[in-house]
């Protein structure tokens, strides 16, 4: 179920995505929150940092782990403008994120809508439980990040 807090945090992710685009990366923004407290945020930075793993979700998860001093983020929600890929889905499961809120799908290699929905696959028990997923939050605004240059 989507909440007003989901909309507020997704708007913040959209701003992060715009910053990523201005830096020459794909327009993806992400943050991790527990209740109303932001634990970490990130922008897609693979090109800027020359780091193949510097996805917005990974950057947000890294920041949240540093802030909490823990490698487990149960009870937290990850917000992201674009559906997490396989790499990010693995990290989400490993860190035991409880909920994921997604703007736009990424059917080619997303952990939810692709042929390999590893984000929610219940058979991958060694990765931690699948999170609750809410998809399509501010969908048009998130899709516009890839089509509208402004």
What amino acid positions are annotated as catalytic residues?
57
CA angle 72, 74, 75 (to 5 degrees): 145
Instruction: Answer whether 41's CB lies under 8 Å from 28's CB.
Output: no
* Interatomic CA distance for residues 98 and 34, integer angstroms: 10
Q: Find, among 69, 2, 67, 82, the residue nearest to 32 by Cα.
A: 67
* Interatomic CA distance for residues 149 and 140, integer angstroms: 14
* Cα-only R_g, the chain: 14
* Interatomic CA distance for residues 80 and 65, integer angstroms: 17
């Amino acid at each position: 179920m989507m909440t007003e807090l989901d909309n507020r945090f997704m708007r913040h992710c959209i701003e992060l995505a715009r910053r990523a685009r201005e830096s020459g990366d794909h327009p993806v923004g992400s943050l991790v929150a527990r209740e109303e407290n932001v634990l970490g945020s990130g922008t897609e930075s693979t090109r800027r940092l020359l780091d193949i793993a510097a996805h917005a979700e990974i950057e947000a998860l890294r920041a949240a782990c540093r802030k909490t001093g823990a490698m487990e983020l149960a009870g937290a929600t990850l917000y992201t403008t674009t559906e997490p890929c396989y790499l990010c889905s693995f990290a989400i499961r490993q860190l035991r994120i409880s909920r994921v809120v997604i703007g736009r799908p990424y059917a080619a290699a997303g952990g939810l809508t692709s042929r390999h929905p590893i984000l929610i696959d219940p058979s991958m028990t060694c990765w931690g439980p699948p999170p609750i997923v809410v998809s399509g939050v501010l969908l048009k605004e998130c899709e516009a990040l890839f089509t509208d240059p402004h």
